[in-house]
Amino acid sequence: MKKAVILLSGGLDSATVLAQAQQQGFICYCLSLDYGQRSSSELLAAARVAKAQGAAAHRVLQLDIGQLGGSALTDKTIEVPTGGVQPGIPVTYVPARNTLMLSFALAWAETLGAQDIFVGVNAVDYSGYPDCRPEFIHAFEVLANLATKAAVAGAKLTIHAPLMALTKAQIIQVGMQLGVDYSLTVSCYQANEAGYACGVCDSCRLRKEGFSLTQHLDPTRYFNALDQC
């Protein structure tokens, strides 16, 4: 069985990707990053998901890029948008986040002797993030195969982004078929310490819409009881 590193945020998408990697027969090593994000409850969710889905290991690395600012997810002086998904790159974009996360995943993969990295980026419901596009994933894979000892020695590395072309509803359908327990996940940009979601940020809206388009009950817990449906 081959090893794979899974970037696990604790959200709906990454939990689905972990299940997909396991279905393909990979021994999964989950990596989460504490980058100074506004909602730390997603890291607790990542731990729950990794345990529930039987990951071989789960590590959380400290990378406080929040010190640099520039995003509503790391700078509490910038408000998280709650008026609905708008065109363009939103203030919830974290500069270079996916580049840094993939770099740490690459380092661990090389240490483990793994040639596969899975990431839950999505270009359909991606809220305008430039580092969630297929062009970015391809470019990073090229970089990885130029920059590592393993690749130079012939162990080519592959970046898997199996959700890239799926809608949120399609992702949920895939996850439900694979037995993912979405009640363990947290997707909200400003969830409280208990993991309750605001229901109005872009991520909450995309998640709610995804569940509404399926026949599955949304298990998300919200601040406002009116959002619980």
pLDDT digits (tens, 9 = 90+) for 46-68: 999 999 999 999 999 998 887 88
Q: Is the pLDDT of residue 229 over 50?
A: no
Task: Walk me through the domains of the chain, giving residue ranges and CATH numbers.
Answer: 3-227 (3.40.50.620)
Contact 182, 174 (CB under 8 A): no
Q: What is the dihedral of CA 127, 132, 134, 139, to 10 degrees?
A: 150
How many whole angstroms separate alpha carbon 6 and alpha carbon 140?
15
Structure confidence at residue 155 (pLDDT): 94
Q: Whole-prediction pTM value? A: 0.93
Total H helices, total E strands in the chain: 7, 5
Average model confidence (pLDDT) across the chain: 92
Structure confidence at residue 78 (pLDDT): 92
H helices of the chain, in order, are 12-23, 41-52, 97-112, 134-147, 149-152, 168-177, 202-212
Cα–chain center distance at 208: 17
Tokens encoding 199? 């229901």
Instruction: Please state, for a pLDDT cut of 70, what percent of the chain lies above it.
Output: 97
Structure confidence at residue 226 (pLDDT): 53
What CA–CA distances, in Å, run from 94 to 104, 149, 152, 187? Answer: 16, 29, 31, 15
